[in-house]
């Protein structure tokens, strides 16, 4: 650690509102991962659940900590498991003079995997198929396995906001951090030979501008703020209402990205009638993702929704709806267009 942590910045994502549109993904890509060696990097990903994810089968790749605090061995994801950037016939389509006769297609080696390869496939069988979208960034964990694993002390949590950053001058590309991270949200730049990851848009945060993924999200699914700010949505969603919970708490890293879990419509029985006793998304699957507490969280959400249907007021529902967009990230609502950014 760099020093004593003063405050912890956090994010909440409401999975009931995510459209899977990838606007957040592209906003991050255009801003942060356009340099040499970063073509295959997607610091923000939005995968379909159930699915194999990005990198492929990351949930079975180890890392993190056991219940006794000891490190759990992890695997190093390969470039193929992340999915290399595909090459397309852009020159032919846009400058070849063939008009509508030329169509965009992959050239060279045909890919067999990539981010969102299994998008919208989901799980279940007709008529009870289901899926939902799961956006993921670095969790900027309270107990980050990547920090513990780096022998160079090249990964630190900033004192002022606890954002986890890689010091690329100290990094030697050992990739122990990639093995240790159970969420597999660290990439290796094969050109510069250093580890790189989500930086929680800290140059924007320092200017009171919210992260690019949040500001560009058309679904208003993301909240940002400090965990100790009792007047802000983050505290109310995580601590007061217990409506937002971490992904895979069993990994032992204490993530600071939280999720409002997905509600599901009821199943259909064998006669095509609605069966209110069983949700479309199996409880066991949600418990696998979020732990047993997810069932309590879903009951809280259902109870508050019932209140609004009865004409009663619900602070929780008002928070999740996000009537006033900038109130979802108080203190970080400055318009980036009003700032003269260095190097731009």
- The CATH number for 141's domain is 3.30.70.20
**What is the pLDDT, as a whole number, of residue 1?**
45
Three-state secondary structure call for residue 222: strand
Sign for the CA dihedral angle at 301, 302, 306, 307 comes to negative
**What is the pLDDT, as a whole number, of residue 99?**
85
**What is the pLDDT, as a whole number, of residue 18?**
97
Residue with tokens 């699914």: 221
Give a yes or no: residue 98 inside a domain: no
- How buried is residue 135: exposed, middle or buried, by Cβ count under 10 Å (0-12/13-18/19+)? buried
Three-state secondary structure call for residue 32: helix
Give a yes or no: residue 164 inside a domain: yes
Pick from 250, 237, 281: nearest CA to 14: 237
Give a yes or no: residue 93 inside a domain: no
**What is the pLDDT, as a whole number, of residue 165?**
98
**What is the pLDDT, as a whole number, of residue 150?**
97
Give a yes or no: residue 96 inside a domain: no
Element containing residue 275 per DSSP (H, E): strand 274-279
Three-state secondary structure call for residue 267: strand
**What is the pLDDT, as a whole number, of residue 154?**
98
β-pairing, 132-136 vs 257-260, is unpaired
Pick from 289, 291, 287, 269: nearest CA to 278: 269
- How buried is residue 60: exposed, middle or buried, by Cβ count under 10 Å (0-12/13-18/19+)? exposed
Q: How many domains does the chain have?
A: 1
Q: What are the residues facing 319 on neighbouring strands?
A: none
Element containing residue 204 per DSSP (H, E): helix 202-205
Q: Quickly list DSSP for 138-196.
A: ----SS-HHHHH-TT--EEE-TTT--EEE-TTT-----HHHHH-TT--EEEETTTTEEE
Sequence-separated (6 or more) residues with CB below 8 Å from residue 160:
6, 7
Give a yes or no: residue 103 inside a domain: no
Task: Give me the domain span that covers residue 80.
Answer: 9-87+112-338
For 160, the token pair is: 């002022």
pLDDT along the chain (344 residues), means of 10: 83 97 96 94 96 96 96 94 87 89 88 85 93 98 97 97 98 97 98 98 97 97 98 98 98 98 93 91 97 98 97 97 94 94 69
Q: 195 with 303: CB under 8 angstroms?
A: no
Give a yes or no: residue 78 inside a domain: yes
User: From CA 186, how far away is CA 144, in angstroms rounded?
Assistant: 12
Give a yes or no: residue 213 inside a domain: yes
Sign for the CA dihedral angle at 206, 249, 259, 327 comes to negative
Between helices 293-309 and 283-290, what is the axis angle to 10°? 110
Pick from 195, 205, 202, 200: nearest CA to 155: 195
User: From CA 36, how far away is CA 128, in angstroms rounded?
Assistant: 45
Calculate ∠ Cα 182-185-186, nearest 5°: 105
Residue 133, phi then psi, degrees to nearest 5: -95, 140
- How buried is residue 94: exposed, middle or buried, by Cβ count under 10 Å (0-12/13-18/19+)? exposed
User: From CA 280, how far away is CA 217, in angstroms rounded?
Assistant: 27
């Amino acid at each position: 650690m760099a020093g004593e942590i003063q405050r912890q910045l956090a994010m909440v994502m409401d999975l009931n509102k995510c459209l899977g549109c990838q606007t957040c993904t592209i906003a991050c890509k255009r801003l942060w991962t356009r340099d040499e060696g970063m073509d295959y990097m997607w610091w923000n990903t939005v995968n379909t659940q159930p699915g194999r994810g990005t990198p492929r089968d990351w949930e079975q790749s180890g890392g993190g900590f056991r219940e006794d605090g000891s490190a759990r061995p992890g695997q190093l994801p390969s470039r193929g498991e992340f999915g290399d950037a595909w090459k397309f016939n852009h020159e032919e389509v846009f400058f070849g003079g063939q008009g509508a006769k030329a169509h965009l297609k992959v050239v060279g080696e045909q890919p067999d995997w990539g981010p969102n390869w299994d998008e919208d496939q989901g799980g279940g069988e007709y008529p009870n198929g289901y899926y939902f979208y799961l956006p993921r960034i670095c969790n900027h964990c309270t107990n980050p396995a990547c920090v513990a694993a780096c022998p160079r002390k090249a990964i630190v949590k900033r004192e002022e906001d606890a954002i986890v950053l890689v010091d690329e001058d100290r990094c030697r590309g050992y990739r122990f951090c990639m093995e240790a991270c159970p969420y597999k949200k660290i990439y290796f730049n094969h050109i510069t030979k250093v580890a790189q990851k989500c930086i929680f848009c800290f140059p924007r945060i320092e200017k009171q501008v919210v992260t690019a993924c949040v500001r560009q999200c058309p679904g208003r699914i993301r909240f940002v703020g400090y965990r100790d700010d009792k007047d802000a949505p983050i505290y109310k969603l995580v601590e007061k209402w217990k409506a937002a919970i971490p992904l895979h708490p069993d990994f032992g890293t204490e993530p600071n990205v939280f999720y409002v879990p997905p509600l599901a419509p009821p199943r259909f029985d064998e006669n095509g009638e609605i069966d209110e006793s069983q949700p479309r998304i199996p409880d066991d699957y949600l418990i696998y993702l979020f732990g047993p507490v997810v069932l309590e969280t879903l009951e809280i959400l259902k109870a508050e929704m019932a209140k609004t249907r009865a004409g009663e007021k619900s602070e929780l529902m008002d928070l999740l709806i996000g009537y006033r967009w900038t109130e979802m990230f108080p203190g970080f609502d400055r318009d980036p267009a009003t700032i003269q950014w260095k190097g731009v």
